[in-house]
């Protein structure tokens, strides 16, 4: 019985993989052709942003940490309302805690993050990276 369950799981995984490969092949076959001129024109429209990678800090599992995370979330909503935090993505079941894309410089974001209640309490740690993207891009 145990072998049957494993064989069934493996078959489902292989079937799912085959379906994904078929979908990708269909999409690639119908993808538009992008010229060098188009790419150069579009690259000129990009803007600098700052990505924040959040990781659990040394006090993430301390008593009261969840309450601090709640206030961190409240602050994220305020930063969104101010137009500073364009995209915020909490991550669970990972060695990461979240990703945010800020409409600000790395220096400005470091100042913002240094005042974050979860960072100040050691519940979260952060790294910042400058990146570029297209203004107006959004999640579907």
Yes or no: say if 97 and 90 are a contact pair by the CB < 8 Å rule: yes
123 within some domain: yes
Which are the contacts of 17, defined by CB distance < 8 A and separation ≥ 6?
Answer: none
Provide the residue range defining the domain that includes 22: 2-31
Whether 124 is covered by a domain: the verdict is yes
CATH of the domain at 73: 3.30.70.1060
**How much is the pLDDT for 86?**
95
Residues 6+ apart with CB under 8 A from 49: 86, 101, 102, 103, 130, 131, 132, 133
Site of tokens 């024109």: 41
pLDDT of residue 30: 75
Residue 140 lies in a domain: no
For residue 116, the model assigns a pLDDT of 99
Task: Enter the pTM of the model.
Answer: 0.75
Q: Are residue 70 and residue 127 in the same domain, yes or no? A: yes
Write out the chain's pLDDT in tens, 140 residues.
444 434 444 555 566 666 766 666 666 667 788 899 999 999 999 999 999 999 999 999 999 999 999 999 999 999 999 999 999 999 988 899 999 999 999 999 999 999 999 999 999 999 999 999 999 888 88
- Rounded Cα distance between 116 and 122, Å, is 10
Number of CB atoms found within 10 A of residue 79's CB = 20
Q: Is residue 38 part of a domain?
A: no
Smallest CA-to-CA distance from 75 within 49, 48, 106, 54 is with: 54
- Tell me how long the chain is: 140
> Into how many domains does the chain fold?
2
Looking at the structure, do residues 27 and 60 belong to the same domain, yes or no?
A: no
- Pair (17, 57) in one structural domain: no
**Chain CA centroid to CA 93, Å:** 14
- 52/26 same-domain check: no
Give me the pLDDT at residue 7, please: 46
Strand 98-102 and strand 85-90: the pairing is antiparallel
Kindly state whether residues 98 and 121 are assigned to the same domain.
yes
CA-CA distances (angstroms) from residue 138 to 51, 114, 135?
Answer: 15, 27, 9
SS3 33: coil
Mark whether 26 and 83 lie in a shared domain.
no
């Amino acid at each position: 019985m145990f072998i049957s369950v494993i064989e069934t799981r493996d078959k489902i995984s292989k079937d799912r993989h085959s379906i994904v490969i078929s979908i990708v092949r269909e999409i690639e076959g119908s993808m538009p052709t992008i010229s060098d001129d188009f790419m150069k024109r579009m690259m000129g429209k990009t803007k600098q942003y700052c990505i924040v990678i959040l990781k659990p800090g040394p006090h993430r599992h301390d008593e009261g940490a969840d309450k601090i995370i709640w206030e961190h979330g409240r602050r994220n909503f305020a930063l969104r309302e101010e137009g500073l935090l364009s995209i915020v993505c909490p991550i669970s079941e990972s060695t990461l805690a979240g990703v945010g894309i800020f409409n600000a410089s790395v220096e400005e974001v470091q100042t913002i993050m240094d005042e974050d209640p979860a960072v100040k309490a050691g519940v979260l740690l952060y790294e910042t990276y400058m990146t570029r993207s297209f203004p107006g891009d959004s999640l579907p």
